Structure 1
Amino acid sequence: MHASHNHSIEQKRSRGITDLSADATRDIAAALTTLLADVFTLYLKTKSFHWHMSGPHFRDYHLLLDEHGDQIFAMTDPIAERARKIGGTALRSIGHIARLQRLADNDADYVEAQDMLAELREDNLILTTSMREVHNTCDEYGDVATASLLETWIDETERRGWFLHEMTRRE
């Protein structure tokens, strides 16, 4: 084996268990960490709307947003662990989330039920677009493992958006 090849293998081992390049690790891990900030933002907004829901469809909306919150939260650990698995880092604090998030918070004292659902619909659409962008980064570097995870999450996010869209339609 060539000496420079051995050095290259040793560099990869020191970064972690991946055979992805240093550029791939940097770019994909950064994209995942930013995505994770948005997922936490959407999770907290979904739970807040779940807690503050009111109106004639309270029970149905309350239960749906609880289900959505559980689904969104279920993405957080795999996203963070994937970033770590390839040699990157994950979020470290609420402040870190605030610095990276692209989805807007909603601190209003009162939001109408239909406005909550419409805002979550838009946020899920934005999240879907962001996940597709991360998927494109994965494709660029041949990271099929991260891309595969993203495909499932894109489908779940599109489903949430579809439900929210149908619930906010004005017939």
Structure 2
Amino acid sequence: MPKSNNAKERLSASLRTPNSLGEDARRDISAELNALLADFFALYVKTKNFHWHMSGPYFRDYHLLLDEQSDQVYATLDPIAERVRKLGGNTIRSVGHITRLQRLLDNDAEFVTPEDMLAELREDNGRVASLMRETHALCDEYHDVATASLLETWIDEAERRVWFLFESGRSA
């Protein structure tokens, strides 16, 4: 590809990474991954919020559990965004963009009981797993095995978080 000396052309250059999936796959899968990325950001912030505001007799165990889970959710953010870029799409650019795309609800309550924290995070992680399954089905339609493979790992991680939150929140 010839290089341009025109500064305006360089500034408007496409960021689209070439791939063989086609324009429809690029558009549709990137859109779904961006929505998942927004959900993961929302889940990360909520998990950290509950980690910071945990209280009660099981404080230490729950505090450490939520710290571990928030680290796992955070570790997923960059791979999701990089997959969007590998597909040739553009990804989230701001907190406002996250807010417009996220499907998980925020929790700004002044106080949330530890039991309610665990239950809400369990539901949110279950919702994220379900949304990832829907995205996986879309990837299957377009034969995008690379994204589908990543989603399988992230679904398993979300299901593990659900399991730990469920068991931790059970009554004695």
Q: Specify which structure has the higher proportion of helix.
A: 1
Deviation at 1:106, TM superposition (A): 0.1
Q: Which residue of 2 aligns with 1:29?
A: 30
Deviation at 1:16, TM superposition (A): 1.8
Q: Which residue of 1 aligns with 2:69?
A: 68
Q: Which residue of 2 aligns with 1:11?
A: none
**In 2: Cα distance, 1:99 partner to 1:160 partner:** 25
TM-score, with normalisation over the residues of structure 1?
Answer: 0.90
Q: CA RMSD in A?
A: 0.9
Q: Which residue of 2 aligns with 1:47?
A: 48
1:141 aligned to 2:126? no
Deviation at 1:134, TM superposition (A): 0.6
**In 2: Cα distance, 1:166 partner to 1:89 partner:** 39
Regions of 4+ moved over 3 Å? none
Deviation at 1:62, TM superposition (A): 0.4
Which residue type is aligned with residue 151 of structure 1? E
**In 2: Cα distance, 1:110 partner to 1:18 partner:** 48
**In 1: Cα distance, 2:56 partner to 2:17 partner:** 51
**In 2: Cα distance, 1:70 partner to 1:16 partner:** 29
Q: Which residue of 2 aligns with 1:6?
A: none
Which residue type is aligned with residue 143 of structure 2? G
Question: Map of 1:77-116 to 2, 5 A cutoff?
Answer: 77-116=78-117
**In 1: Cα distance, 2:90 partner to 2:170 partner:** 41
Could you tell me the percent identity over the aligned residues? 67
Deviation at 1:69, TM superposition (A): 0.3
Q: Which runs of 5+ in 2 are unaligned?
A: 1-13
**In 2: Cα distance, 1:146 partner to 1:76 partner:** 14
Count of residues in Structure 1 that have an aligned counterpart in Structure 2: 158
1:170 aligned to 2:154? no
**In 1: Cα distance, 2:112 partner to 2:31 partner:** 33
Q: Which runs of 5+ in 1 are unaligned?
A: 1-13
